[in-house]
Amino acid sequence: MTINEADTTRNKLIMAGVSVFAKKGYKDATVREICRQAESANINSINYYFGSKELLYREILELIFSEYDRYKPDAATNKTPEQKLKAFITSFCIMLYKGDAFESDLTTIFVSEMTKPSPFLAELVDKYNRPRVEKHLGMIRNILGKEASDGMVRDCLVSVSGQLLYYSFAWPVFSRLFPEYSTGAAYEKWADHVYTFSMGGIKALKQQLTGKKGEAS
């Protein structure tokens, strides 16, 4: 995940906010500490540029939730559903794992937001996640076939997404079990593995549906 690093007071405040929110959490982060880290002597600068500490935090969340769109995995409309699934998986792995980005302060804030949601979460989910999920559900349904239930389609998407997010949430444990492993260096292999593993599961479910359909006829 990236932040515009232009040398302006506003961007310095965003970068300082990311660092302080990641270390202290939203509740314990203070305006004074953020301004000090941004090298801004005026503690009113956050109110001037963002309106409040709360709205600075919301702006950072907006950066996190909008990051996936930079990779434009759905840009090519002539892809097969399988190719779209591969593009979705690859884009997600690049975003989270290239250069060990999942260990960044932005990812720390995202994980914290998942465990202790802020008042902004519902709005951001509706703005960013819901449209993407609708596209991804359609993609999975096109692979499974029209016989698949809504629940089966949903569970397949959740299974794929769970693999993609695993390291972000479980790295403190995983890195101690397998200290030689680096996702930053292996994100392309991880994307290939998730795609192959996911397609295997989806095809198995599709065969079950085909078998049941044959039995019914």
Condensed to tens digits (0 to 9), the pLDDT of residues 151-193 reads 999 999 999 999 999 988 888 898 899 988 777 667 888 899 9
Q: Please tell me the predicted confidence (pLDDT) of residue 43.
A: 87
Does 216 map to a domain?
no
Among 68, 85, 49, 56, which Cα is nearest to 127's?
68
Say whether both 48 and 77 belong to one domain. Answer: no
Q: Looking at the structure, do residues 93 and 193 belong to the same domain, yes or no? A: yes
Q: Could you tell me if residue 97 is inside a domain?
A: yes
**For the chain, which residues score pLDDT lower than 70?**
1-7, 72-76, 102, 184-185, 212-217
Q: Is residue 214 part of a domain?
A: no
Q: Are residues 37 and 126 in the same domain?
A: no
The pLDDT value given to residue 213: 61
Alpha-carbon distance values, 48 to 29, 36, 43, 44 (Å): 18, 16, 10, 6
Give the pTM.
0.84
Same domain, residue pair 97 and 179:
yes
Domain that holds residue 138: 72-209
Q: According to the model, what pLDDT value does residue 36 have?
A: 94
The pLDDT value recorded for residue 1 is 47
- Answer yes or no: is 169 within a domain: yes
Based on the structure, what is the number of domains in the chain? Answer: 2
Within this chain, do residues 116 and 42 fall inside the same structural domain, yes or no?
A: no
